[in-house]
Amino acid sequence: MRFVLALLATATIALAAATPADAFDDGLARTPPMGWSSWNRFGCDIGEQTVRETADALVVGGMRDAGYRYVNVDDCWMAPTRDAFGRLRADPWRFPGGIPALADYVHARGLRLGLYTSIGARTCQGRPGLAGHESGDLARIASWGADYLKVDFCGANGAVRGDPAPAYARVRDLIGQSGRKLVLGICTWGQGLPWRWGPRIGHMWRVTGDIRPEWRWVLKIAGRNDLRARHAGPGGWNDPDSLEVGNRGMTVREQRAHFGLWALMAAPLIAGNDVRHMSRVTRRILLNRELIAVDQDRLGSQGHRVRRGLHEVWIKRLAGRARAVLLLNRGRRTAVLRFGIGRARRVRDLWRHRWRSSARTLRVRVRGHAAAMFRVP
């Protein structure tokens, strides 16, 4: 009896220690997934040549080695119709070599392949979706060698809209039966409160509608994502959508702030630009190893906003009792932002890559529409 009680006590402590308590952690996403997705830059204009060249560029440009592993083909990879047996197939014009060959190509370079589908009968671009074909499609996608699957919300009928969790749980179970391990990206745009059930079902879940390469929009998404911070942790992550770094629409400072916020929020870092043709500035943002380390910190704590307004302070707890601090100037004018660092005496500037000594209150000039970022210590 005493033994049983001791066992129970240990089990309770173990459960209490897991963050968050209801996450299932199969080891696939202990830290936020990193990679690239076709959607933001290419939309439907995607084909196997671009995907292959992207895979090569990730390797040659050092992004793979910095952690960007998933090469995700978003909507439009599938043919507009199923074959005579009702089977899903790749678009023969865009992917003439087929998905298995593409998976081999990607795997041979130490990368992983991501695919896309939707919970309804049609994807957002009108291609065949899962509804009515769940077991066949998921078995096929797994057998082709995919490593990641984003499941969108287009075509969800009334029942699914009421509570998407059972439909997504079924996807999880069918993937489980396939015998292949896939990262499951849930994409209900925040509908059905996915942060509540996502940790039990998938590895990441979108918290909002689609990102746009606009400063105000990026800040809006960050604010929404912040509300869900406590639901993220090793195994499952809030997803504020893939990155707009390197795409048109934001200044360099705005793009740096965007990347910094995503890292501070332990968001999946999925590049959304054309990595085959990147400026040095874009490359420096995406390859900022100190920021990637903040995102990928093993504690897996999503940082959050501690001071709101025109000038904001965001903090993320890091392993080893360190913290990352982001000082955000949402306004147009340069401002001096302040933050108390206790007895640390110095901070690491994560954009300038150097230590800087500091009084108990760190004072930093931050230009308009920009963010400074530090680690203490």
Site track 197-236 with ligand GLA (rule: CB under 6 A), x = hit: -------------x--------------------------
Closest among 323, 327, 332, 301 to 313, alpha carbons compared = 327
Residue spans of alpha helices (H) in 29-153: 39-42, 48-60, 63-66, 99-108, 134-143
Q: What gap in Å lies between CA 98 and CA 90, rounded to an integer?
A: 6
239 is catalytic: no
Q: Which two tokens stand for residue 6?
A: 């001791």
Catalytic residue among 147, 152, 239, 295: 152
Laid out side by side, the sheet with 322-329 consists of: 304-307, 311-318, 322-329, 370-376, 346-349, 354-357
Q: Which CB atom, from 73 or from 275, has the smaller least distance to ligand GLA? A: 73
Continuous segment of H or E residues that includes residue 271: strand 269-271
Q: What gap in Å lies between CA 47 and CA 82, rounded to an integer?
A: 18
Compute the least distance from the CB of residue 129 to ligand GLA, in Å: 11
Q: Which CB atom, from 72 or from 296, has the smaller least distance to ligand GLA? A: 72
Residue spans of alpha helices (H) in the chain: 2-17, 39-42, 48-60, 63-66, 99-108, 134-143, 158-162, 165-178, 194-201, 215-226, 252-264, 280-286, 289-295
Which residue has the closest beta carbon to ligand GLA? 124
173 is catalytic: no
Site track 111-140 with ligand GLA (rule: CB under 6 A), x = hit: ------------xxx---------------
Compute the least distance from the CB of residue 185 to ligand GLA, in Å: 9
Q: Which two tokens stand for residue 158?
A: 């009334």
Closest among 204, 189, 182, 183 to 156, alpha carbons compared = 189
Q: Which CB atom, from 66 or from 99, has the smaller least distance to ligand GLA? A: 99
User: Of residues 31, 32, 38, 39, which one binds ligand GLA by CB under 6 A?
Assistant: 39
Compute the least distance from the CB of residue 188 to ligand GLA, in Å: 9
Site track 138-157 with ligand GLA (rule: CB under 6 A), x = hit: --------------x-----
Catalytic residue among 25, 91, 210, 349: 210
Compute the least distance from the CB of residue 217 to ligand GLA, in Å: 14
Site track 271-310 with ligand GLA (rule: CB under 6 A), x = hit: ----------------------------------------
User: Of residues 75, 226, 254, 274, which one binds ligand GLA by CB under 6 A?
Assistant: 75
Compute the least distance from the CB of residue 43 to ligand GLA, in Å: 8
Tell whether residue 239 is a contact of ligand GLA (CB under 6 A).
no
Compute the least distance from the CB of residue 57 to ligand GLA, in Å: 22
Burial letters 297-330, b for 16+ CB under 10 A, else e: bebbbbbbbeeeeebbbbbbebeeebbbbbbbbb
User: Of residues 187, 270, 285, 335, which one binds ligand GLA by CB under 6 A?
Assistant: 187
Please say whether the beta carbons of 314 and 360 come within 8 A: no
Interface residues with ligand GLA (CB under 6 A) are 39, 74-75, 123-125, 152, 187, 189, 210
Q: List, by residue number, the catalytic residues.
A: 152, 210
